[in-house]
Amino acid sequence: GQTWDLASDNMPHVLGVHRRPIDGPETWTLTTTGCLSLIGINEHGIAVGTTNIRTTDARPGVTYLSLLHKPLAARELEEAVRAITEARRAGAHFYYVADGEGRALALECTPDHVDSTEIETGAYVHTNHCLVPEHQAIEGDTPFASSHARQDRLEHLIADDLGSADLAAATRWLADQANGENAISRTDFNGISSNGSVVMEPQSGSIRACHGPAHLSDVKWIDLRTSGPA
């Protein structure tokens, strides 16, 4: 799962979308008006999401929105991963891909290189800075303080819940307000807000989402597959 942080004025345009293609699997996603998929899951349990990273080697190619949309048409994890790794990528992004069999991969990508980490146990945290030394060498401007603070805080929260973490814990992590403007859940700091959050469980096929910063008292988590309270 993850937060999705955008300019605060994008908040009204965040949507939960249920797609039923004629020739592909059903999908449930969080996205924005006019965009393809941002974070989502399909009927086969293939789940995808992303965080933005910046490197200086951008080129003409496939943008991350299209890369995220294609894996959701896959039936198998390997097919979903290839949709990202074999594409002519335009820029850098981090992607995660998981399936209903308990398998997951973390993919830190530049246009020319993919660092793939299989997540076999425990948790994997990635915010908005490169973790791979090869990518750090060409890293562009990044929200350094915020990204590192959120990474450290989420790792700390997960460690505190070791052995007892569940979906409810994940929603709580994404609502954490520690560190003020560098918090995991943010409300209009320098024009940026957590415009939504998503928690997915590929093995059960569930996808829970909220609209707006998860810490706000009036925010409700919704199960996008049932359109009811999560």
pLDDT at 228: 60
pLDDT of residue 217: 87
What pTM was estimated for this model as a whole? 0.94
pLDDT tens figures, 181-209: 999 999 999 899 999 999 999 999 999 99
Question: DSSP E strands: which ranges in 2-133?
Answer: 2-7, 14-19, 27-32, 39-42, 47-52, 93-98, 104-109, 114-118
The count of structural domains within the chain is: 1
Q: What pLDDT is recorded for position 142?
A: 77
Average pLDDT over residues 101-107: 97
Per the structure, the complete domain to which residue 217 belongs is given by 2-229
Q: Write the pLDDT tens digit of every residue in 10-27.
A: 999 999 999 999 999 999
Distance CA 134, CA 144 (A): 18
Q: Please determine, for residue 62, whether its predicted confidence score (pLDDT) is greater than 90.
A: yes
Are the CB atoms for 169 and 1 separated by under 8 Å? no
The two structure tokens encoding residue 140: 């562009």
Cα separation, 65 vs 68, in Å, equals 5
The per-residue pLDDT for range 211-224, each reduced to its tens digit, is: 999 999 889 999 99
What's the CATH code of the domain at 21?
A: 3.60.60.10
